[in-house]
Structure 1
Amino acid sequence: MDPVGIAIVGGGIFVKEQHIPAALASPLLSIKAIWSRSRKTAEEAAKLVPSDAASSVDLYSSDSGEGKSYEDILKREDITGVVLALPIIDQPDYIKKALAAGKHVLAEKPIAKDIATAIELIEYYMRTSAETNASLAIAENFRFYPKWNYAAEEIKKLGKVTGFVINVVSMMETSNRYYNTPWRTTPQYQGGFLLDGGVHFTAAFRRLLGENAVESLVAQTALVSSHLPPVDSIYAVLKTKSGAVGSFIHSVGTTMSATEFYFACEKGSVKADRDKVVTTVGFGNDAVTEEKTFEYTSGVKEEVHAWGESILSGIANPDQTPGLALGDLELIEAMLKSGEQDGARQKLEHQQLV
């Protein structure tokens, strides 16, 4: 079977460092075109394609003239799918155009800037896919980290979750290349970097929590570092449907540094940090601890290959559904809204794992 012809839409850092190498690594996919707003950026991205394949990759951009627009890519019969990595506020429109043209879509997280936009997009997708059979997958690479999947299975073995502490804190410095992306420096969407990067951590948290979804939460938010508006820190208390209570702290503007996901269960505990998972069975002197270390992977090669498999099989990958992405977004939005309302309790409605 011939590889699926795809277009890479976007020419930013993540496209160059992750999406293009991931597509090249998958035997299921063949890059036919690259689009970016500027021809220069598209050309820079194309340099990453090996010389033996580069001649078959066509470049498109907003400034390339007639016949070289994004819409022209969507007219090509040899292009079955598109990988979209664009600014948060722009991406839904590009997704809709691709779906309307019958193209399968793998779109970077978050699914949209807010819940209202995400729901409208999903409804559009459901209507359109019934006619075109085009699929929408959301790229959340954290769901393809072996570490999170291993930790989730360890938590299941230990019975009911009784509590949790999530602590993800760091400093997004002005020298950071992602900070210096113009649409991120002056965000036109809620939460700034807390939304852009935060959905990674709500995705990981929800994977570990499993079917015991968050029911409600209260939170306070703050702007600690003035270069990270509108807010850069969340301190939240979450309550699950089973009654378990825990904390979720996420800051991109603090001098502290930590990545810790700690779950207490009936029969022990599981703690996941940057590169390892520690499982403790039992309590006190009878406790038995096991530590497993993981080599770093971005998860992007795995997620892009999985998308290729879903196109060929016609079966959506359960880790890439729009419904999952909606839940990741809702959790962040609820914390931000609670902070805006001085800690008012927020009820959640979209935490089902679909």
Structure 2
Amino acid sequence: MGTERLSLQESRSASGSPARRLRIGVVGCAGIAWRRMLPALTANPDVTLAAVASRDADKARVFTDRFGGEPVAGYDRLLARDDLDAVYVPLPALLHAEWIERALLAGKHVLSEKPLAATYGEAAALVALAEARGLVLLESFMFLCHPQHARVRELVAEGVIGELRTLTAEFAFPSKGYGDIRWRPDIGGGALTDIGVYPVRTALLHLGPEVEVVGAALDVDRERAVDTAGAALVTGPGGVTGQLSWGMRHAYRSQYALWGSAGRISVQWAYTPPPTHQPVIRIEQQSRVEELTLPAEDQFARVVAAFVARIRHGEPSGLEGESVLRQAQLVDRVRELALLLPDGRPRERMGSV
């Protein structure tokens, strides 16, 4: 994709040279788009929000009345437009693969809410399609763009906690009621793909691509056919272990900790910090406790900036390619060990030997 796909509307790049603004359309009117991503998109000086699509024209108009752009009735009509360079896809999980594929085939760069697809096989096909067509495909795992996690990695590399021995990661919050899409199996509901992926991705971030899931359990609401909570045991290089927990019927918790031979680092509010929050990294050693307070950051704004930089300059983001596929493999492994099918139905257990 060359600069000929970019708008004639110009902004200034960081170096002061002229740069064309990236024209983005939105496929779907999800809550996350309203609350966080569209404010971040419209605040970015390198982006123009050109259109918002919904199957309900009135709903699209509600979004464009607030954020700008043209309301479009129907996702296909939006993808057919020739005045878009890229799209953002905040649809329910089971719809991601279909509409990401359609967007790529329409020649659009894609920023998608997580998960990219329901299974590793689907994710691999999408990544291959994007590469074959020379398009950018990013998964919006916004917490990975927050600098607090890079600082934690630096501290571990500096030996602040000695040799890493174990990781714990927990993410859960109270149920928002049966009307919430997480309770709908027909569109990819459940806790694993929406909530559990955060602790799983944390293990991948800090233990590396060799991390493996060696045990898993999922609590399934049989009446509604969705998983509501889960846990996994993982291992990494050098005998490091990890314990991951998540759920959608719990008191709120959003944190992880790295425990080493000489200390422990913990991160509070790890996954959903508001843009005004100043993160605190707690370091516990034998004879002292220290708390590092970092500047506030908007992780959604940083995702948008990473998307623009990847399209314009080819800058790697950590939200694409091999890391996305490894994440999908680990989620598949959790399902396999917990005897759960991708659509949320329990697998048939094999008879005892």
With normalisation by structure 1, the TM-score equals: 0.79
Alignment-derived partner of residue 71 in structure 2: 59
Paired residues, number: 312
Superposition pairs of residues 218-233 of structure 1, within 5 angstroms: 218-223=215-220, 229-233=225-229
Q: In the alignment, what sits opposite 1:192?
A: 190
Counterpart of 2:24 in structure 1 is: 6
Superposition pairs for residues 301-320 of structure 1, below 5 Å? 301-313=301-313, 315-320=314-319
2:129 corresponding residue in structure 1:
124
Q: Which amino acid aligns with 1:180?
A: G
Task: Return the alpha-carbon distance in structure 2 between the equivalents of residues 31 and 190 of structure 1.
Answer: 27
Match of 1:47 among 65, 70, 73: 65
Change (3 A) 1:251 1:296: farther
Task: Give the alignment's Cα RMSD to 1 decimal.
Answer: 2.6
- Could you tell me how far 1:294 is from its partner in structure 2? 5.0
**CA spacing shift, 1:148–1:74, aligned 2, 3 Å:** same
Structure 2 stretches lacking a partner, 5+ long:
1-18, 270-278, 341-345, 347-353
Task: Return the offset for 1:113.
Answer: 1.0
Q: 2:239 aligned with 1:247, yes or no?
A: no
Whether 1:156 and 2:174 are equivalent positions in the alignment is no
- Structure 1, residues 224-273: CA drift from partner, whole Å, max 9, x if none? x678742222232211132112321222223x543331211233221112
State whether residues 51 and 78 of structure 2, in contact with CA within 8 Å, keep that contact through their aligned partners in structure 1: yes
Structure 2 distance, partners of 1:212, 1:162, is 17
Aligned to 2:343: none
Deviation sequence 1:39-83 (CA, Å, 0-9, x none): 01101111222xxxx4xx222112xxxxxxx33433433311111
Partner residue in 1 for 2:337 = 338
TM-superposed CA distance for 1:189, in Å, is 6.6
CA distance in 2, matches of 1:136, 1:154: 31
CA separation in 1, counterparts of 2:216 and 2:298? 30
Aligned-pair distance for 1:201? Answer: 2.9
> CA separation of 1:266/1:87 partners in 2, compared to 1, >3 Å: closer, same or farther?
same
CA contact (8 A) 1:276 1:292 kept: yes
Q: Structure 1 residue 326: deviation in Å?
A: 2.4
For 1:173 and 1:73, locate their aligned partners in 2 and report how far apart those are by CA, in whole Å: 31
Q: Which sits farther off after the overlay, 257-266 or 226-235? A: 226-235
**Change beyond 3 A, Cα 1:189–1:75:** closer
Correspondence for 2:136: 135
Structure 1 unaligned runs (5+)? 63-69, 343-354
Q: In the alignment, which residue of structure 1 is the partner of 2:257?
A: 262
Partner residue in 1 for 2:299: 299
Correspondence for 1:215 among 212, 215, 219: 212
Give me the whole-angstrom Cα distance separating, in 1, the residues matched to 2:299 and 2:168: 24
Greater shift, 326-335 or 289-298, is seen at 289-298
> Per-residue deviation at 1:165?
2.2
Q: CA deviation at 1:149?
A: 2.2
The separation in 1 between residues aligned to 2:131 and 2:201, in whole angstroms, is: 23
Q: Aligned match of 2:230 in 215, 229, 234? A: 234
Q: How far apart, CA to CA, are the structure 2 residues paired with 1:220 and 1:325? A: 22
Q: Percent identity?
A: 20
Aligned residue identity for 1:217: V
User: 3-state SS of the aligned residue for 1:90?
Assistant: helix
Contact 1:22–1:305 (Cα < 8 Å) also in 2:
no
CA distance in 1, matches of 2:81, 2:153: 42
Supply the AA of the counterpart residue of 2:235: K
2:109 equivalent in structure 1:
104
The one-character-per-residue Cα deviations of 1:144-187 (angstroms, maximum 9, x if unpaired) are 1232222222222224321122233432241xxxx634x43222
For residues 297 and 32 of structure 2, the distance between their equivalents in structure 1, rounded to whole angstroms, comes to: 14
Partner of 2:99: 94
1:47 partner SS:
helix
Question: d(CA) in 2 for partners of 1:215 and 1:249?
Answer: 15
Structure 1 residues 87 and 218 mapped into 2: Cα distance closer, same or farther (>3 Å)? Answer: same
Distance 1:304 1:202, change over 3 A: same
Going from structure 1 to structure 2, the CA distance change for 1:227 and 1:23 (only over 3 Å counts) comes to farther
Aligned letter for 1:291? E
Which amino acid in the other structure matches residue 168 of structure 1?
Answer: F
Q: Could you say what secondary structure the match of 1:248 adopts?
A: strand
Deviation at 1:95, TM superposition (A): 1.2
Shift of 1:291: 0.7
Instruction: Confirm or deny that 1:27 pairs with 2:7.
Output: no
Relative contact order (C-alpha < 8 Å, sep 6+): which is higher? 1
